[in-house]
């Protein structure tokens, strides 16, 4: 009897820890709760280790994720998989076996807040295998350097170097890639890198081959407003909580973690910041860039006075290489056809939707693929053991768009 009571108490404690009230529209919430409980456990353990001086919190978190997820490069009867390099950047290459003629090519940048994850993780390995099979395309998944050892612009430079190599005649010929059918893609922080790389390289007259399409999956595109409607609405929705996204930005920009409360309050983008012009503010003015159904009844939070000189101390906040949403209109005008996936229950929803609007205003053809029941990272839920409806739908629609447009 005693063991039954102990078991019941443990089960109740576990259920209490796992359960999290979620918006009613979230797809299959219990699967998200279970993944979030595991992720929260890793985060809390990493913070304890960090406070004890055992290691940096990011290191422990990455080791835990790697232990669970990282897999070897294993070929199958349909896809040849190898670990290689692109522009001296580690890259996993997925080549479809068989078939005649030139292949389509995709360079892919994984997510993880510029600090976590790897293209060698099981979820990205499965994604790239499926892309290679379904598209009969060569997929190159880039392992750029990560924070805290690497900070902006290191990750950006790795992404540019890998992309230049990917577009080179040597690599295109070696892997049999059609130079007229090449794409830059990525999710979350990887979507940020893909957008920034496209903007950089599309303006480079020395390149004889350039990207024909860009495909951005719930990308993070700006760091000046952490109180957009989606940040306000979804601040407590896993797996990307509002404070966690701010922490990722601070790691990426090599800034002190003590600045987190200032960024959460939008003190860094107050009207008295001399480093933020009216033109810059207009590029992320969600009251003008978002449709009414996304603005809802949320109010814009712009402080009259804030933390003086913060933008000067963190120039990456207004650097278009870190925040592609801030690009000039003539740069956006030259970028290729775009696909932008967004999810209703994601703090980054409005980053993507504002980019859709700015691209369209620049005359770029854009497909905006929005999931009313989606959440940040949902495309990883396309595979077992956490397969969900929105995960499968988002992955299939993403691949379908590439098949029709690349």
Return the number of other C-beta atoms located less than 10 Å from residue 266's C-beta.
Answer: 18
Give the pLDDT confidence of 282-340 residue by residue, as tens digits.
999 999 999 999 999 999 999 999 887 888 889 999 999 999 999 999 999 999 999 99
Give the pLDDT confidence of 74-85 residue by residue, as tens digits.
999 999 999 999
Better pLDDT: 403 or 7:
403
Nearest to 115 by CA among 264, 245, 261, 268: 245
Q: How many residues does the chain have?
A: 406
In angstroms, the Cα distances linking 7 to 33, 37, 106, 369 are 21, 19, 50, 45
Least confident of 22-36, 50-64, 234-248: 50-64
Give the pLDDT confidence of 208-266 residue by residue, as tens digits.
999 999 999 999 999 999 999 999 999 999 999 999 999 999 999 999 999 999 999 99
CB 321 within 8 A of CB 198: no
Q: Exposed, middle or buried, 273 (CB in 10 Å: 0-12/13-18/19+)?
A: buried
Distance CA(125)–CA(57), nearest Å, equals 25
Distance CA(165)–CA(160), nearest Å, equals 9
Better pLDDT: 301 or 21:
301
Instruction: State the average pLDDT for the chain.
Output: 92
Give the pLDDT confidence of 183-213 residue by residue, as tens digits.
999 999 999 999 999 999 999 999 999 999 9
- pLDDT bin (cut points 50, 70, 90) of residue 36 is confident
376 is known as an active-site residue = yes
* CATH code given to domain 70-223+330-405: 3.40.50.1820
Edge-to-edge, what's the strand order for the sheet holding 337-345? 79-86, 89-96, 137-142, 103-109, 177-187, 213-217, 337-345, 366-375
Distance CA(36)–CA(380), nearest Å, equals 13
In angstroms, the Cα distances linking 32 to 155, 187, 370, 374 are 29, 18, 19, 11
Is pLDDT above 80 for 19? no
Better pLDDT: 75 or 54:
75
In angstroms, the Cα distances linking 364 to 322, 337, 360, 403 are 21, 6, 5, 19
For β-strands 89-96 and 79-86, DSSP reports them as antiparallel
Predicted pLDDT of residue 8? 37
169 is known as an active-site residue = no
Domain spans of the chain? 28-69, 70-223+330-405
Q: Which is catalytic among the residues 118, 376, 388, 394?
A: 376
Predicted pLDDT of residue 182? 98
83 is known as an active-site residue = no
Q: Which is catalytic among the residues 346, 350, 351, 373?
A: 346
Give the pLDDT confidence of 131-185 residue by residue, as tens digits.
999 999 999 999 999 999 999 999 999 999 999 999 999 999 999 999 999 999 9
In angstroms, the Cα distances linking 90 to 24, 60, 140, 169, 261 are 41, 21, 10, 19, 35
Predicted pLDDT of residue 7? 41
Is pLDDT above 50 for 18? yes
Q: Which is catalytic among the residues 188, 230, 269, 307?
A: 188
Q: What is the pTM of this model?
A: 0.94
- pLDDT bin (cut points 50, 70, 90) of residue 5 is very low
Q: Specify the DSSP element, H or E, that contains 248.
A: helix 242-252
Average pLDDT over residues 378-398: 93
Nearest to 141 by CA among 196, 68, 71: 71
CB 359 within 8 A of CB 338: yes
């Amino acid at each position: 009897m005693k063991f039954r009571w102990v078991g019941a108490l443990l089960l109740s404690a576990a259920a209490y820890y796992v359960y999290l009230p979620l918006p009613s529209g979230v797809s299959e919430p219990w699967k998200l709760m279970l993944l979030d409980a595991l992720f929260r456990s890793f985060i809390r353990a990493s913070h304890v280790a960090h406070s004890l001086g055992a290691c940096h919190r990011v290191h422990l978190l990455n080791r835990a994720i790697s232990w669970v997820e990282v897999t070897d490069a294993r070929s199958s009867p349909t896809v040849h998989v190898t670990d290689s390099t692109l522009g001296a950047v580690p890259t996993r290459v997925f080549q479809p076996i068989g078939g005649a003629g030139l292949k389509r090519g995709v360079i892919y940048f994984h997510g993880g807040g510029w600090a976590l994850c790897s293209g060698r993780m099981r979820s990205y390995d499965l994604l790239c295998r499926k892309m290679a099979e379904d598209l009969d395309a060569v997929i190159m998944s880039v392992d750029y350097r990560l924070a805290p050892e690497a900070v902006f612009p290191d990750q950006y430079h790795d992404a540019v170097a890998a992309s230049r190599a990917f577009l080179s005649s040597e690599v295109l010929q070696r892997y049999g890639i059609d130079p007229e059918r090449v794409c830059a893609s990525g999710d979350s922080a990887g979507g940020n890198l893909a957008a920034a790389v496209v903007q950089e390289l599309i303006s480079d007259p020395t390149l004889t081959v350039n990207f024909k399409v860009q495909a951005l999956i719930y990308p993070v595109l700006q760091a000046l407003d952490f109180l957009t409607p989606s940040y306000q609405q979804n601040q407590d929705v896993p797996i990307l909580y509002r404070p966690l996204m701010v922490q990722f930005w601070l790691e990426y920009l090599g800034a002190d973690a003590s600045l987190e409360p200032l960024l959460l309050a939008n003190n860094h983008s107050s009207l008295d910041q001399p480093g933020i012009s009216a033109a810059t503010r207009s590029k992320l003015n969600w009251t003008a860039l978002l449709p009414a159904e996304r603005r809802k009844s949320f109010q814009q939070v712009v402080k009259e006075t804030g933390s003086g000189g913060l933008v000067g101390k963190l120039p990456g906040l207004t650097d278009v290489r870190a925040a592609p949403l801030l690009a000039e209109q003539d740069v956006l005008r030259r970028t290729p056809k775009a696909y932008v996936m967004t999810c209703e229950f994601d703090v980054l929803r409005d980053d993507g939707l504002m980019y859709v609007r700015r691209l369209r205003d620049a005359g770029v053809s854009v497909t905006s693929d929005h999931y009313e029941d989606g959440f940040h990272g949902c495309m990883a839920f396309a595979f077992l053991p956490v397969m969900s409806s929105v995960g499968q739908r988002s992955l299939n629609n993403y691949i379908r768009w590439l098949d029709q447009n690349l």
